[in-house]
Amino acid sequence: MHVTVLRDYRFPPIEQSYAAKDAILYALGLGYGGNPVDPSELTYVYEEALKAVPSLCVVLAHPGFWAKRPEFGIDWVKILHGEQSFEIHKPIPAEGKVRGEYEIEAVDDKGPEKGAILYQTKRLFDAAGDLLATVRSAVFLRGDGGCGSFGQAPATPSALPDGPPARRCEIATLPQQALIYRLSGDYNPIHADPAPALKAGFPRPILHGLCTMGIATRALIQTFAPGEPERLRSMFVRFSKPVFPGETIVTEFYVDGEDVRFRCRVKERDIVVLDRGRATIRGL
CB 258 within 8 A of CB 197: no
- Alpha-carbon gap, residue 167 to 12, rounded angstroms: 43
Query: Which conformational region is residue 58 in: left (phi greater than 0), alpha (psi within -120 to 50 degrees), or beta?
Result: alpha
pTM score, two decimals? 0.90
Quote the pLDDT of residue 216. Answer: 98
Chain centre to alpha carbon of residue 175: 19
pLDDT of residue 252: 98
Instruction: Tell me the DSSP string of 70-82.
Output: GGG---GGGEEEE
Tell me how far apart the alpha carbons of residues 264 and 146 are, in angstroms, rounded to a whole number: 32
- Contact by Cβ (8 Å): 93, 52: yes
What is the DSSP pairing of strand 248-256 with strand 259-266?
Answer: antiparallel
Please give the DSSP secondary-structure letter assigned to residue 240.
-
Residues classed as catalytic: 186, 191, 206, 209
- The pLDDT assigned to 81 comes to 80
Predicted pLDDT of residue 257? 86
Q: Which amino acid is at 38?
A: D
- Report the alpha-carbon distance of residue 6 to residue 119 in Å, rounded: 11
In angstroms, rounded to a whole number, what is the distance separating the alpha carbons of residues 242 and 142?
15
Provide the 3-class DSSP secondary structure of residue 185. Answer: coil
| pLDDT the model gives residue 149 | 85
Q: Give Cα separations from 146 to 141, 167, 171, 251 (angstroms).
A: 11, 43, 40, 36
Residue 101 structural domain: 3-281
Residue 207 makes CB contacts below 8 A (sequence gap 6+) with: 173, 177, 178, 181, 191, 242, 243, 244, 245, 247
- Nearest Cα neighbor of 116 from 1, 241, 196, 9 is 1
Q: Looking at the 3D structure of the chain, how many domains does it have?
A: 1
- CA–CA separation, 252 vs 212, rounded Å? 14
Local confidence pLDDT in tens for the 284 residues of the chain: 788 888 888 889 999 999 999 999 999 999 999 988 898 899 999 999 999 999 999 999 988 778 888 888 888 778 888 899 999 999 999 999 999 999 999 998 899 988 999 999 999 999 999 999 999 999 999 888 888 888 888 888 889 988 999 999 999 999 999 999 999 988 889 999 999 999 888 999 999 999 999 999 999 999 999 999 999 999 999 999 999 999 999 999 999 888 999 999 999 999 999 999 999 999 98
Which pLDDT score, from 0 to 100, does residue 70 have? Answer: 85
What is the rounded CA–CA span in Å between residue 216 and residue 262? 9
Partners of 141 in beta bridges: 79, 116
Q: Which of 78, 53, 218 is nearest to 143 (CA)?
A: 78
Widest distance between CA atoms in the chain: 54
Give the residue among 250, 244, 245 at the shortest CA–CA distance from 270: 250
Q: Which CATH number goes with the domain that contains 230?
A: 3.10.129.10
Strand pairing partners for 139?
A: 81, 118
Q: How many CB atoms are located within 10 Å of the residue 168 CB? A: 14
